[in-house]
A and B are shown apart, each in its own frame.
Chain A
Amino acid sequence: MITFAKSSPLMFIGGVIVTCVTLLALLAPWIAPFDPSEINVKVILLPPSWEHWCGTDTLGRDVFSRMLYGARVSLAVGFVAVGISLLIGLVLGAVAGYSGGRVDAMMMRLTDMVLCFPTFFLILAVIAFLEPSIWNIMIVIGLTSWMGVTRLVRAEFLSLRNREFVMAAQGLGVSSIRMMWRYLLPNAMGPVLVSAVLGIAGAVLVESGLSFLGLGVQPPDASWGNILTEGKDNIQIAWWLSMFPGLAILITVLGYNLLGEGLRDYFDPKLKQ
């Protein structure tokens, strides 16, 4: 453990943060001192104290408990959105890289096209038109963030395609699908994993941005973003409403970024120098 922490401190710190946040989210119902949606008019907008660690909000709800439940929402959005973008990116990238030629050129044009869009505009428009439920948010973030994975997988497949072991497998009559799945994909997995971990961080940030604009997860469900929105409206009188959820987002995103960077060094020691 100690040698691991010394040999790759980034991955270690990132891993610890990610594990802690995930545990807190999973164990929310047992850790949370209060019911996150319990309204109590006697304790409106109290500053942090021993009883309410992160203070209370405008409806007297305990901010710490809400943040624990909000962690579930933020992480779920991150995981599912990245899952969707991985699925699309893997399939498109694999097909483009493996077939090459015209198919590849066309798919890469498509990717370039979507990359030109300010994706936040796309996300905002679609969410506003569909209605901002948690599922829509996951799907839309996933649908607008597959381009990086596609390019990565394609590049890996292109370079793997002409290697000897692939030719050998082809000579033995392995089908295309089995070839991609069984022989090429495992070899491309490192960079994909890195971009997935970084993608989770990105999705958490996008969700919080959407919530901030009032288009994220809707109240009464808690999310870090929508606690922050309430914080913005009361910024003159209740600093804790904007301070703690912001810190939570910062630390979580930081954790995933560190883990991603650590994994990158691990898969590609050349970069570390």
Chain B
Amino acid sequence: MIPLLFGITIISFGMMHLAPGEPVVVGQEFNPKVSAQDIERLRAYYGLDKPLHEQYLNWLNRLVVLDFGKSFSADGRDVIDKISERIPVTLWINILAMLLIIVIAIPIGIISAVKRDSWLDKCMTIFVFIGFAIPSFWLGLLMMISLGVNMNLLPISGLHDYNWQQMGFWEQQADLMSHLLLPIFVSAIGGLAGMSRFMRSGMLEVISSDYITTARAMGVPEKSIRYRLALKNALLPIITLLGLSIPGLIGGSVIVEQLFSLPGMGLLFFEAVMSRDYPLVMGITVIGAVLTLLGNLIADISYAWADPRIRHGRNG
């Protein structure tokens, strides 16, 4: 864990500082009012005049106490504040997307495996391949125009309606949900396809394994073979896969949030990148990676907890 975190900070830092172009210079090259001295002063102010390793150590030192520095943008606020007010939106969308993936993909995978080669299985396979290949932002655009603009069923941007302040508590929740519906679906589509495919092949593999054949030979009813014996074993790898899909979801939030103008971490990152706000970009990258690490850790722990072979320990 710790060396991993350490490496993450090195990559985040290196990536920012090895790229050519400096934030204090960008946009000022042709500005006659900015003299060379001014640029020097700005560089000193932000600590950019020190050697790279010193900058890195300074940054790391402050990182340990969760001080990500101040944003380069005009408001000059603390990076940590800017990020923490944006995180909930991204987190909620991704958590709900993940729930949606679990709730839909697992039954699809099971049904496809159990009714293998039926027309249902074939339809689902087609859906899965299309889900894999469809560019998420294009799907988002199509849904925006059909459900949002033409049919006027769902709002297409932002988090709240303009009269949000006047609504009652439950109305507010309903309004929020209707704004999040499309973004959640668009974030989930890739994972939905991947997960149901994975579930199907996992289930098929388990069903054809020796102990299931034995159970069948011993006369265990087909229903309990499927749902009591096979399912449990097929579900285990799903936990790991969920952990692995986190970086993709977080990365994808840039596109989804940009498309639906949602004030989340992805949109913040995009804005930070476009204005070369180094501290903010580095802060978000580190936090994104840490979230992924946490997700993987949770996945590992739940795997160990769910698998009796690991839970009871092979050696003792």
Binding site for B on A (CB under 8 A): 109-110, 112-122, 124-126, 128-130, 201, 205, 208-209, 212-213, 228, 231-232, 235-236, 239, 242, 246, 249-251, 253-254, 257-258, 271, 273
- CB–CB B19/A118 < 8 A: no
- CB–CB B132/A116 < 8 A: no
A209: chain B residues at CB < 8 Å are 135-137, 255
**Of the residues B3, B15, B204, contact of A273 by C-beta under 8 Å:** B204
- CB–CB B11/A235 < 8 A: no
B288: chain A residues at CB < 8 Å are 117-118, 121
A258: chain B residues at CB < 8 Å are 129
B136: chain A residues at CB < 8 Å are 209
What are 23 A-B residue pairs whose CB atoms fall within 8 Å in the complex?
A: A113-B7, A114-B11, A116-B289, A116-B292, A117-B8, A118-B288, A121-B284, A125-B273, A125-B281, A126-B15, A208-B135, A209-B135, A209-B255, A212-B137, A213-B254, A228-B141, A236-B145, A236-B149, A250-B138, A253-B132, A258-B129, A271-B201, A273-B208
When chains A and B are docked, how far (Å) is the Cα of A128 from the Cα of B273? Answer: 7
B69: chain A residues at CB < 8 Å are none
Flag the segment in B78-86, B227-235, B243-251 that touches A: B243-251
- CB–CB A257/B20 < 8 A: no
- CB–CB A212/B255 < 8 A: yes
**Of the residues B7, B201, B254, contact of A120 by C-beta under 8 Å:** B254
B144 interface residue, CB < 8 Å from A? yes
B258 interface residue, CB < 8 Å from A? yes
- CB–CB A122/B15 < 8 A: yes
B129: chain A residues at CB < 8 Å are 254, 257-258
- CB–CB A124/B19 < 8 A: no
A104–chain B nearest beta-carbon distance, Å: 16
B1-42 interface code vs A (CB 8 A; 1 in, 0 out): 001100110010001100111000000000000000000000
B138–chain A nearest beta-carbon distance, Å: 4
When chains A and B are docked, how far (Å) is the Cα of A174 from the Cα of B19? Answer: 42
- CB–CB B273/A124 < 8 A: yes
B172 interface residue, CB < 8 Å from A? no
B residues 122-181 touching A (CB-CB < 8 Å): 129-130, 132-138, 141-142, 144-145, 149
B residues 274-304 touching A (CB-CB < 8 Å): 274, 276, 281, 284-285, 288-289, 292-293, 296
When chains A and B are docked, how far (Å) is the Cα of A212 from the Cα of B140? Answer: 12
B304–chain A nearest beta-carbon distance, Å: 18
User: Which 6 residue pairs spanning A and B have beta carbons closest together?
Assistant: A120-B251, A246-B138, A129-B19, A118-B251, A253-B133, A254-B133
When chains A and B are docked, how far (Å) is the Cα of A244 from the Cα of B208? Answer: 43
Query: Given contacts A116-B4, A235-B141, is CB(A121)–CB(B269) below 8 Å?
Result: yes
B263 interface residue, CB < 8 Å from A? no
- The chain B residue sitting closest to A246, CB to CB, is B138
B133: chain A residues at CB < 8 Å are 201, 205, 249-251, 253-254, 257
Provide the main secondary structure of the chain A interface.
helix
A213: chain B residues at CB < 8 Å are 254-255, 258, 270
Query: Given contacts A118-B288, A125-B16, A250-B130, is CB(A228)–CB(B293) below 8 Å?
Result: no
When chains A and B are docked, how far (Å) is the Cα of A270 from the Cα of B132? Answer: 23
Among B3, B149, B247, B248, chain A packs the most CB atoms within 10 A around the CB of B247
B204: chain A residues at CB < 8 Å are 273
- CB–CB A242/B141 < 8 A: yes
- The chain B residue sitting closest to A208, CB to CB, is B135
When chains A and B are docked, how far (Å) is the Cα of A130 from the Cα of B15? Answer: 11
A128: chain B residues at CB < 8 Å are 273-274, 276
A254: chain B residues at CB < 8 Å are 129-130, 132-133
B11: chain A residues at CB < 8 Å are 113-114, 117
- The chain A residue sitting closest to B201, CB to CB, is A271
B4: chain A residues at CB < 8 Å are 109, 112-113, 116
When chains A and B are docked, how far (Å) is the Cα of A98 from the Cα of B203? Answer: 34
**Of the residues B135, B141, B254, B276, contact of A129 by C-beta under 8 Å:** B276
- CB–CB B247/A117 < 8 A: yes
A109: chain B residues at CB < 8 Å are 3-4, 7
B134: chain A residues at CB < 8 Å are 250, 253
- The chain B residue sitting closest to A198, CB to CB, is B132
- The chain A residue sitting closest to B4, CB to CB, is A113
When chains A and B are docked, how far (Å) is the Cα of A257 from the Cα of B273? Answer: 32
A112: chain B residues at CB < 8 Å are 4
Among A109, A130, A253, chain B packs the most CB atoms within 10 A around the CB of A253
Task: A117-B11, A120-B251, A120-B252 given; name 15 further pairs at CB < 8 Å.
Answer: A113-B7, A116-B296, A117-B8, A126-B15, A130-B19, A130-B20, A201-B133, A205-B135, A208-B137, A212-B137, A213-B254, A249-B133, A250-B135, A250-B138, A253-B135
- CB–CB B19/A126 < 8 A: yes
- CB–CB A113/B270 < 8 A: no
